Structure 1
Amino acid sequence: MKSAPELRRLVGRLLLLAVLMFAFGFALVPLYTVMCKAFGINGKTGDAYQGSQLIDDSRKVRVQFLSTNAADMVWGFYPEAQELDVHPGAVNQMLFVAQNPTDKPMTAQAVPSISPGTAAVYFHKTECFCFTQQVLQPGERIEMPVRFIVDRALPDEVKHLTLAYTLFDITARQPPPAPVARNGG
């Protein structure tokens, strides 16, 4: 059995530990934000892109759009335009069209890439069909938007970016539909 002074020290240390853990819990969100900004992860665009006063009207960057189907993908898939000239800091949109020419439902996933690779950290997708799987019924055609911002911090020597998507058929990877419950057995 411990003496009263030892118990008081132990309780004091445990209370100090509880206070430190509570404070660390409050610090997690700001620490996470700082880490994301420092390492350029999580696609956080922050508040810097809100408001037209942050658009750099003095220069334009050409963004080219490419689409490719993976070897087993049969959908029609293409951008509405081949390229756009954009001002850094402005919100832009491009529509991609997909069509399922088969007689069965299919599920697809688009995987993006940006080139040159060193400029990828300056390209921010705020909305993209690549964030979710796309399910199309037989013969169905859809228009899928991608909204993006080219960061004003993009180095001046970079005057051209390419956003490319590869579309994959992931129908076979989908779990089978849940059985339908029938009344009366």
Structure 2
Amino acid sequence: MARRGDNLRMLGKLVVVTVGMFSFGYLLIPVYKAICDATGVNILSLTERQVPGNGVAADDARALAKNTQVDTSRTIIVEFDANARGPWQFKPARRSMQVHPGEMATVLYEFENVQDRRMSAQAIPSYAPRQAAPHFNKLECFCFSQYTLDPGEKKEWPVVFVIDPRLPKDVTTITLSYTFFEVGGKIPAAPQSTAGGMQAQRADSS
């Protein structure tokens, strides 16, 4: 009888431990969510799954943008410029936009192969002022890959970017410029005075 009583007590202890472990695992998810909500941290680890020609995967880009600390006290003007080294058309869909540091933004660049032959080309970016370059984070960009277009083919490519909130306070305008060149030819140098060129264009159009 004594041994049977010991076995029952041991069984009761095992049942209590099992129920306790199950309850802990069940409550772990809401506890974790509450901690994340309280600290403002929604992603502890973001794996950059590279997508050919696009950078990080779209789901990761949206998650990164959602959890970035946006500095709404600052507004940065981003100007877009395009230079074509060859007989084709290449331009941004818009010339400028206003963004907050830490905010994800998207701009489209338009390209048309107006030649009567197939061509392969690639773009190289440049920034003005130069100190803004390490703070201009592209999540998705056509400049990551080469592209082949048939005669008369048109393409629209997005550039998804986030400006690092650590951008120096004295930088209020950034110019993103792309030079599009045919693969196999001489790689052109990046524009040296992109910001000045944009100002000159605005002066000519006024």
Shift of 1:53: 6.0
Sequence identity percentage: 40
Q: Give ranges in structure 1 of 5+ residues lacking alignment.
A: 1-42, 174-185
Distance 1:153 1:50 in 2: 16
Higher relative contact order, structure no. (Cα contacts within 8 Å, ≥ 6 residues apart) = 1
Deviation at 1:155, TM superposition (A): 1.3
Q: Please say if 1:98 is aligned against 2:98.
A: no
- The whole-number CA distance in structure 1 between the counterparts of 2:128 and 2:162 is 15
Supply the distance in 1 between the matched residues of 2:66 and 2:129 (Cα, whole angstroms).
Answer: 27
Match of 1:112 among 125, 132, 137: 125
- The answer on whether the counterparts of 2:139 and 2:162 sit within 8 Å (CA) in structure 1 is yes
Aligned to 1:149: 162
1:164 and 2:177 correspond: yes
The CA distance in 1 between the partners of 2:169 and 2:141, in whole Å, is 26
- Which amino acid letter does the alignment assign opposite residue 56 of structure 1? D
Q: TM-score, normalised by structure 2?
A: 0.57
- What does 1:23-62 correspond to in 2, within 5 Å? 49-52=64-67, 54-62=69-77
What is the CA distance between 1:144 and its match in structure 2? 0.6
The structure that has the greater radius of gyration is: 2
How many Å apart are 1:94 and its aligned residue?
0.4
SS, match of residue 165 in structure 2? coil
CA deviations over 1:96-117 (Å, ceiling 9, x no partner): 0000011111111100011111
Q: How many angstroms apart in 2 are the aligned matches of 1:75 and 1:53? A: 37
Query: Quick one: distance in 1 between partners of 2:154 and 2:83?
Result: 17
Kindly report the root-mean-square deviation, in angstroms, between the aligned alpha carbons of the 2 structures: 2.5
Q: Does 1:63 pair with 2:60?
A: no
- For the residues of structure 1 that align with 2:90 and 2:68, how far apart are their CA atoms? 36
Q: Does the 8 Å contact 1:108/1:133 carry over to 2? A: yes
- After TM superposition, which residue ranges in structure 1, 4 or more long, deviate above 4 angstroms? 46-50
Give the deviation of 1:74 after TM superposition.
Answer: 1.0
Change (3 A) 1:100 1:50: closer
Cα separation, 2, equivalents of 1:163 and 1:122? 12
User: Against the structure 1 CA distance between its residues 154 and 49, is the aligned structure 2 distance closer, same or farther, given a 3 Å change threshold?
Assistant: farther
Q: Secondary structure at the match of 2:132?
A: helix
* Number of corresponding residues: 128
Does the CA-based 8 Å contact 1:66-1:79 persist in structure 2? yes
Identify the match of residue 143 of structure 2 among 130, 138, 143.
130
Q: Note the C-alpha offset of 1:51.
A: 2.9
Query: SS where residue 178 of structure 2 aligns?
Result: strand
Unmatched 5+ residue regions in structure 2?
A: 1-54, 187-206
